[in-house]
A and B are shown apart, each in its own frame.
Chain A
């Protein structure tokens, strides 16, 4: 089990959460949330999660809104947030990503580089 490295995965697709949890649980303590609203309540302090993996396109609170809310509360979290996308159906997403340093992972993803990225960020 992940020695104290705690990550949060947010996606509206429970199968994605399930798969990611199974694949990452050997290295991290993986929490999951099915919506931005649920995730917001789980980020209690700035250091609680070492990395956050967040889907951009979700019904209800989008990944972009969740991101803004988290960094408004905990500005230090900004580099720890990684986005996932299944392709960008909205020009909003494109505009949002312009000029941001955050890493964006395209679905479907190779698990080894993702593990490595998370390890680097969660240091």
Chain B
């Protein structure tokens, strides 16, 4: 005797149509196998319904709080350890590079001091020349700008700049001091 689809329907949760339920009930009347399965399922469901939710042993929240605080401390210690390690590596590298550089410079100075001095002087003059060029370009641009924009334009520009600055300051203040909102 075929028990399908009735066996399937017995274990389907709340999705049977009234016609299917009718057919299932008719089948259960004369099928011992399916009837025993349906009865077992009903027993299991009744038992699940009977057993209450279990509460944790007393002091659960206190135990969690101390565990969380301990975990926080451990995380903090770990972070400090990492920061110290990174600092140590950075400082060691700095010292190594500094010593290597000093050794290189001193070595060149002792082997050929004139060459080193000429190189240093050349660098200084080159930097000076670059700065002069930048200064010249800046002045020229400013002069052109001053000639191009009328005095009223300068007023508008300054006004909008100041307004932007005020808005920016307000925004920064709001973001820094207002708490982050979490909507639940």
| A and B together in one complex | no
Interface, chain B (partner A; CB < 8 A): none
